[in-house]
Structure 1
Amino acid sequence: MRLTPFPRLILEKEGPRSLFRGLGPNLVGVAPSRAIYFASYSTAKEKLNGVFEPDSTQVHMVSAGLAGFTAITVTNPIWLIKTRLQLDARNRGERRMNAFECVRRVYQTEGWRGFYRGMSASYAGISETVIHFVIYESIKRKLVESRAQASMDQDEDESVRDASDFVGMMLAAATSKTCATSIAYPHEVIRTRLREEGSKYRSFFQTLLTVPKEEGYRALYRGLTTHLVRQIPNTAIMMSTYEMVVYLLQR
């Protein structure tokens, strides 16, 4: 497989281990972040179904927004450390900064507020979550309706699901995440710029105006392909697993 210039440059300058920089905080952050997110989403959805029309677009939008806000607020320090470690460029053979050193450095140079850099961009990214869940729930509802109709025609028990149902959920998740990420991706670039140590970027809107002015509007979509390659299978597996767990718990 032919490497693109950027990965090849990293390998030549910093070695293969550099491609896994920030993996520790990422592994530590994924479980609590997803747990907080889905717990908040399910709770909000249950409560809002009694306020709005059950399983309506409004319910999905507000639930996704509240869940995103909660998860971002709690876990932002973890993602900041991950980003700092990823941006810590060292030549091959030089000692790498570890997560504990990064935490100490952030606190010493920026205080507690430093751990929440880029959170404004993460809040802006809630729009991606909202778009994702609105599209996902819409596709999911159509799949469920189609399944129910097929079960009635064949006199089957519609409460019993097979593998094809979860494959459908995976495809629904992949489709919705692709659409949402493609629309809201600029917040990812802005968030990374804000989290970079010693950067000239100070706020969400200042960064949003500065990046296109200095680098062109295409800079706001830099890294989109790589991000999609990571996010689409991750989201498809995560959402289908979530649906399977909910289904098993309700049986």
Structure 2
Amino acid sequence: CRAIYFAAYSTAKEKLNGVLEPDSTLVHMVSAGMAGFTAITVTNPIWLIKTRMQLDARNRGEQRMSALECVRRVYQMDGIRGFYRGMSASYAGISETVIHFVIYESIKRKILESKARASMDEEESVKDASDFIGMMLAAATSKTCATSIAYPHEVIRTRLREEGSRYRSFFQTLLTVPREEGYGALYRGLTTHLVRQIPNTAIMMCTYEVVVYLLGR
């Protein structure tokens, strides 16, 4: 999923830089949106199977459902379209990706500009460990902001992917959950999600920047 995402993001950003103002906020927003749309469309069936297996509740002593059994069960119940349940919520989650990358790119640009001013050499291209630590902090900050704003789509997506779910569409679920469980239900599990996502995103973005830097040398 990450490989597809970053490949699509880099490609879109490269193309858009030749059409729009290079490395502008608009370029980052559109690139992130296109990358998110591509990755979600390709990988949704995988995440649906994962969610179904996590939610699988068998009686004690029974063997848990395997991935192959889960695939067969989804197909028998809903056909091919069953593998794309919850995709509308995932598309809504593109907003999280857009917010994340816009904030990240903005912080990264300020870090690089600050270093250039400090060294009095705007053409400086050599990076050291402090640059990548700064990018990890930028990634952690941007991911925290983006996830906190867009988290409800995660709850809605999980509800839509439940087997036999009475939730049928994004907006129907968005209205039903707070009406029946209160608005706090839309943020249930946020803390755990942040604990998992922030270190993961910081390491992933730093690794991406290191690879891009090494390949560009």
TM bucket by the smaller chain? Answer: over 0.9
Quick one: which amino acid aligns to residue 51 of structure 2? T
CA-to-aligned-CA distance 1:137-164 (integer Å, 9 cap, x gap): 0000001111112222xx7982111111
2:159 equivalent in structure 1: 193
Aligned pair partner of 1:161 in 114, 127, 132? 127
Q: Kindly indicate whether residue 132 of structure 2 is the aligned counterpart of residue 172 of structure 1.
A: no
2:117 equivalent in structure 1: 149
* RMSD after superposition: 1.3
Q: For 2:210 and 2:64, how far apart are their aligned partners in 1?
A: 40
2:65 equivalent in structure 1: 97
2:192 equivalent in structure 1: 226
2:14 equivalent in structure 1: 46
Aligned pair partner of 2:100 in 126, 132, 139? 132
Secondary structure of the corresponding residue to residue 197 of structure 1: coil
- Contact 1:151–1:157, Cα closer than 8 Å, also in 2: no
Q: Kindly indicate whether residue 193 of structure 2 is the aligned counterpart of residue 239 of structure 1.
A: no
1:160–1:114 distance in 2 versus 1, CA, 3 Å: same
Secondary structure of the corresponding residue to residue 164 of structure 2: coil
| Equivalent residues in 2 for 1:196-207, closer than 5 Å | 196-207=162-173
| Equivalent residues in 2 for 1:65-144, closer than 5 Å | 65-144=33-112
- Contact 2:116–2:122, Cα closer than 8 Å, also in 1: no
- Contact 2:89–2:153, Cα closer than 8 Å, also in 1: yes
Secondary structure of the corresponding residue to residue 60 of structure 1: helix
Q: For 2:75 and 2:99, how far apart are their aligned partners in 1?
A: 35
Quote how far apart the aligned CAs of 1:51 are: 1.6
Higher mean Cα deviation, 86-95 or 130-139? Answer: 86-95
Q: For 1:235 and 1:93, how far apart are their aligned partners in 2?
A: 38
- Contact 1:190–1:207, Cα closer than 8 Å, also in 2: yes
Quote how far apart the aligned CAs of 1:92 are: 4.3
1:64 equivalent in structure 2: 32
2:3 equivalent in structure 1: 35
Q: For 2:53 and 2:156, how far apart are their aligned partners in 1?
A: 17
| Residue-pair matches, total | 217
CA-to-aligned-CA distance 1:193-217 (integer Å, 9 cap, x gap): 0000001000000000000111110
* Percent of paired sites with the same residue: 88
Quick one: which amino acid aligns to residue 215 of structure 2? L
TM-score, scaled to structure 1: 0.84
Secondary structure of the corresponding residue to residue 157 of structure 2: helix
Q: For 2:61 and 2:119, how far apart are their aligned partners in 1?
A: 62
Quote how far apart the aligned CAs of 1:94 are: 2.5
TM-score, scaled to structure 2: 0.97
- Contact 1:174–1:236, Cα closer than 8 Å, also in 2: yes
Quick one: which amino acid aligns to residue 34 of structure 1? R
- Write out the 4+ residue segments of structure 1 that deviate beyond 6 Å after TM superposition: none
